Every structure is written in structure tokens, then in C-alpha cells.
């Protein structure tokens, strides 16, 4: 299974005429080289223009500096783009919130209607898998929303992780969510969760500690790559989460950020903002409440994740290329 998946060519893509793959990404995958998938919702909905485009370019550069190839994924003009040109990044960033936030369920609608679609964690995983990319870097995954025992609001990211064998490098669960319940759902879904670095704590996005112990831990990119390889060798058909704590110098005070989150969540409830509109609203409102501190932390953690993800991709490629 592992060998088959990681050696597949683009000729086997479903509806291959609808997939546009940049030459750089195509060559890397065909040669079993290191490739890192990147989502595009972080560009359209994660931060304001032009900071979003600048950050996206910097993240791609960081991946390249580790020796890997970045593959930002988005839907434009009725096609799935695996890897974006500089002009496409600019277009998506300038469209911003007008781009359709496309999770797995939205992909056929966005494609058929030729809408600009920014991929979430769930849809990026799905499309990365289709393209034969086994590793994906993002800021933080979605999860169980606060108050989900009444609303049943649980991110599709968790379901995708339970059925799509793509490793996700992130800074943990977005701290606007219920981290404890999210970890419980990931366990139920059979998703391997590992903290990357010298701590047994599961990180909390803006801050390094969530108060929850991580199920496992690795200290090196080589160890992480070995886990990904083992997942495929066992035909687990489920994803993995590698949670990377935000750099200490960029972390936000946990008490201050929890106060800001509580305020933003209460405001969202009062305004009736729920579903896929809630996360962008909360992130934007928290930036306002923290006077930009949370945005600076968000950018720092994404860049750090890109560095770690690029290093893991290189180690994974070494394993792939050693296969007959």
C-alpha cells in the first residue's frame, strides 16, 4: 500500500483533466521527492490582504529552504490546482473572504460552478491524497467547537483525518475550540497524535501548553517520517497529527488569549454566528481584541510548522526513494 500510494503517477488522478499540477510539483512527485501540501483557506480567510499573500510566499520559501517543494492547493476556474503560481497566490489573496471556503462537501459544487475555492484542512487532505502527496502543513486543525454538546458542531477535519492517510503538521488544535473533546474524537477516529519537540504537552495553537498530555512524542524529523511510513505500511487509511508547539518567543500569554477567546465566542453566540462562518469570525475578532498579537503569533507558528514539515518531507522522501 505504502509503495503503491507514494509511487502513483498523475496519470492515475481522478478526472485528471481537472487537475492542474505545476511542473515543479509534478516532477517532485514523479521522482518520489519531498513535497509539502499547503491549504489556501489560511490565505483567503486566515489573515488580511496583503499580509496573507506575503505570508503565503514566505511559507513556500521556508519549505524550499528545507529542500522540499511546496504545493499550495486551491480551486480556480473550475479546476483543482496542485501548486499555485505567484499570480494565483496574489489573486486568491486579493479576493480574500469572497473566495468560497471549500471543505470536502463543497468541492464538487465549487468546481462545477467555477467558483474561486480556498481549501480547508479536510479538502486539502483529500486533494493531496488524490495527487499522491502524503504530508500537509497548516496552522491548526479544526475540531470540536465549544458547546458542541448542544450544537453538534464538529469540524469535518476530524472526520477526514479518520479516513485519509495524510500526515498533518500543525500547531495543534485552534485554541478557540474545545481541545479536550477534540483529542477524544481523534482517538475515536483512530488518528495517531504526536507532539513534535521536547515536551509531552499537546500545544494550544497560540500558546505552547493546552493542559492536555499528548498521546505520544517525537524529537526529530526522521522519527516523524518513520511513523508516516509505518502508517502506510500498515494500510491504516487514517491520517496523523504532528503537533508542533509555537516558538516560545512568539507564544501569547495563555490567560490573555483565553480571555480574548471567551469574549469573541460570547460575541459570536450573541450574533448567531455558527458553522463554517464561526472560525473566521473568531480569528478576526481575537486579532482585534489582542491588538494584532494573535495575528503575529499565527504567522510565526505557520512559518515554524512549514520548517518542520519541510524537514519531515525530506526524511520521508529518503524512505520513499529507498524502496525498490
Asked if 262 and 282 touch (Cβ cutoff 8 Å), the reply is no
Domains, the chain: 2-321 (3.40.1790.10)
Three cell numbers, residue 146: 465549544
DSSP tally for the chain: helices H, then strands E: 14, 11
Specify whether 160 is catalytic: no
Looking at residue 283, its pLDDT comes to 80
Q: CB of 308 within 8 A of CB of 221?
A: yes
From 164, 174, 151, 137, select the one nearest 56 (Cα to Cα): 137
310, three cell numbers: 519541510
* CA atoms within a 13 Å half-sphere pointing along the CA-CB vector of 3: 3
Q: Which residues, in sequence order, are CB contacts of 114 under 8 Å at separation 6+?
A: 77, 78
Catalytic member of 39, 60, 160, 315:
39
Q: Which of 60, 101, 174, 284 is catalytic?
A: 174
pLDDT digits (tens, 9 = 90+) for 116-161: 999 999 999 999 999 999 999 999 999 998 877 777 889 999 999 9
Residue the block writes with cell 469573541: 264
Q: What is the pLDDT of residues 150-171, one digit of tens each?
A: 778 899 999 999 999 999 999 9
Give the integer Cα–Cα distance in Å for 183 and 154: 12
Residue 40's Cβ-side half-sphere holds a number of Cα atoms within 13 Å equal to 35
Whether pTM exceeds 0.85:
yes
More confident residue, 2 or 82: 82
Q: Residue 58 and residue 150: Cα distance in Å, rounded?
A: 40
163 is catalytic: no
Amino acid at each position: 500500500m505504502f509503495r503503491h500510494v507514494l509511487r502513483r503517477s498523475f496519470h492515475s488522478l481522478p478526472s485528471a483533466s481537472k487537475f492542474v499540477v505545476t511542473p515543479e510539483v509534478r516532477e517532485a512527485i514523479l521522482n518520489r521527492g519531498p513535497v509539502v501540501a499547503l491549504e489556501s483557506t489560511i490565505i483567503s480567510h486566515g489573515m488580511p490582504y496583503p499580509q496573507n499573500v506575503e505570508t503565503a510566499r514566505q511559507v513556500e520559501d521556508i519549505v524550499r529552504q528545507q529542500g522540499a517543494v511546496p504545493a499550495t492547493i486551491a480551486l480556480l476556474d473550475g479546476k483543482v490546482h496542485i501548486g499555485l503560481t505567484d499570480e494565483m497566490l496574489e489573486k486568491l489573496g486579493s479576493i480574500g473572504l469572497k473566495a468560497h471556503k471549500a471543505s470536502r462537501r463543497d468541492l464538487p459544487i465549487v468546481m462545477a460552478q467555477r467558483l474561486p475555492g480556498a481549501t480547508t484542512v479536510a479538502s486539502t487532505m483529500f486533494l493531496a491524497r488524490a495527487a499522491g502527496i502524503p504530508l500537509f502543513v497548516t496552522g491548526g486543525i479544526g475540531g470540536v467547537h465549544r458547546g458542541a454538546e448542544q450544537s453538534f458542531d464538529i469540524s469535518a477535519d476530524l472526520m477526514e483525518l479518520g479516513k485519509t492517510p495524510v500526515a498533518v503538521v500543525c500547531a495543534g488544535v485552534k485554541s478557540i475550540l474545545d481541545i479536550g473533546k477534540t483529542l477524544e474524537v481523534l482517538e475515536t477516529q483512530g488518528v495517531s497524535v504526536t507532539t513534535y519537540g521536547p515536551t509531552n504537552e499537546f500545544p494550544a495553537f497560540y500558546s505552547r501548553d493546552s493542559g492536555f498530555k499528548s498521546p505520544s512524542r517525537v524529537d526529530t524529523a526522521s522519527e516523524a517520517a518513520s511513523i508516516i511510513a509505518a502508517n502506510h505500511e500498515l494500510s491504516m487509511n487514517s491520517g496523523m497529527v504532528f503537533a508542533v508547539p509555537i516558538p516560545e518567543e512568539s507564544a501569547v500569554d495563555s490567560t490573555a488569549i483565553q480571555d480574548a477567546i471567551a469574549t469573541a465566542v460570547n460575541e459570536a453566540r450573541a450574533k448567531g454566528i455558527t458553522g463554517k462562518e464561526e472560525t473566521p469570525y473568531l480569528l478576526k475578532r481575537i486579532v482585534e481584541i489582542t491588538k494584532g498579537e494573535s495575528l503575529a503569533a499565527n504567522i510565526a507558528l505557520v512559518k515554524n510548522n512549514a520548517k518542520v514539515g519541510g524537514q519531515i518531507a525530506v526524511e520521508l522522501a529518503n524512505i520513499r526513494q529507498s524502496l525498490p
